[in-house]
Amino acid sequence: MSEAVEPAAGYDGPRLAASGSVRVRVPAKINLHLGVGPRRPDGFHELTTVYQAISLYDELTADRADRLELVVEGEGADVLPTDENNLAVRAAVLLADHLGVPPRVRLHLRKQIPLAGGLAGGSADAAAALVACDALWDGGLDRNELATLAADLGSDVPFLVPGGTALGTGRGEVLSPVLAVGTWHWVVAVADGGLSTPTVYAKLDALRDAGTVPAEGVGAPDELLAALRQHDPRVLAAALANDMQAAALALRPTLARTLDAGLAEGALAALVSGSGPSCLFLAADADHAASVAARLTTHGVCRTVRTAHGPVPGARTTP
């Protein structure tokens, strides 16, 4: 799949890195705490969230070209747009405008992060495109500058530039690093089909207006932040929280079966990832995660099951 976007006219001086190809690996994100406040005048909701980058990756390669082109393989290759409706393409155009260069690049995206699964796959690809194109065009922007630029593309994109674990406020784009001692182990149950994030937000608003769920939500993430410093999986399990879960379950009731199955197979905690429909299960260690994943697979409550660990770095160039 590919779509050509012609470069800007009138540019007569290329500013390219010495290398003709840049490869970037970028992780998925999960929300360990997702507190959703009221809708703001700009249409977004006020968020307080704790992000963690986990070891499910997309890979994007940027090569010199005479026009902007995106080719996709893997997850969602038959449905993903490859024009300006794709965040990776928009990221390349945004960076080119910022650097004053034409958006001449061929992007080859190998996707493994599920689409519309609450794991920020599209945002990850945008972060990867920013890092890759900055290197290809010799932009010289540091991580903070790229993250600032990324805020124009979406709430999750700035986090996926640095990765790790971070507190997000505002609409999620204002980041503060969080100390997360050691490695945490997760099982990810990937659902059939996706959920639209705006639809889940709208459902949450409707549930709150109807008094079905508390308007105040899950509150501040103090307990979660303290748990991350202790590195006790059982303490963290008790602190995980997601205001979006009730709305995701209302839109996709079968997710309750997935959550119940993971708990029945020994997961320490279960929650919907972000806006869903992927479900997360916390494990005590890598062996426990593998065991939970193997047994969860037999329940037939999801499309596939993967194990992952976090935190991991964000978008990074690779050989």
Per-residue pLDDT for 9 more than 80? no
- Sequence-distant (6+) residues with CB within 8 A of 219 are 35
The strand pair at 68-74 and 105-111 is best described as parallel
- Please state, in angstroms and as integers, the Cα–Cα distance from residue 271 to each residue in 136, 253, 258, following that order: 39, 14, 10
Report phi then psi at 289, rounded to 5.
-60, -45
Per-residue pLDDT for 116 more than 70? yes
Per-residue pLDDT for 5 more than 50? no
State the chain's mean pLDDT as an integer. Answer: 92
Please identify which of the residues 58, 156, 203, 243 carries the catalytic annotation: 156
Q: Is 192 among the residues known to form the active site?
A: no
Tell me the average pLDDT across 257-267. 98
Distance of alpha carbon 57 from its chain centroid, rounded? 10
pLDDT digits (tens, 9 = 90+) for 282-292: 999 999 999 99
Tell me the average pLDDT across 79-97. 97
| Residue 19 binned pLDDT confidence (cut-offs 50, 70, 90) | low
pLDDT digits (tens, 9 = 90+) for 151-185: 999 999 999 999 999 999 999 999 999 988 899 99
CB 130 within 8 A of CB 149: yes
pLDDT digits (tens, 9 = 90+) for 272-310: 999 999 999 999 999 999 999 999 999 999 999 999 999
CA nearest to 70, candidates 110, 99, 98 = 110
Q: How many CB atoms lie within 10 A of CB 264?
A: 13
CB 19 within 8 A of CB 136: yes
At 273 the three-state DSSP class reads: coil
DSSP character for 274? T
**Which amino acid would we find at residue 132?**
A
Cα diameter, the chain = 63
- Residue by residue, DSSP assigns 32-56 as EEEEEEEEPTTSPEEEEEEEEEEEE
Please identify which of the residues 29, 111, 203, 243 carries the catalytic annotation: 29
How far is residue 37's CA from residue 282's CA, in Å, rounded to a whole number? 26
Report phi then psi at 5, rounded to 5.
-125, 120
Percent of the chain with pLDDT over 70: 94
What is the per-residue pLDDT for 12?
A: 35
**Strand locations in the chain (E):** 4-5, 21-39, 45-64, 68-74, 105-111, 165-169, 174-177, 184-190, 241-242, 269-272, 279-283, 304-310, 316-318
More confident site: 51 or 215:
51
Check whether the bond before 311 is cis (ω within 30° of 0): yes
Percent of the chain with pLDDT over 90: 87
Task: For the full predicted model, state whether its pTM sits above 0.75.
Answer: yes
Q: Is 156 among the residues known to form the active site?
A: yes
How far is residue 292's CA from residue 299's CA, in Å, rounded to a whole number? 11
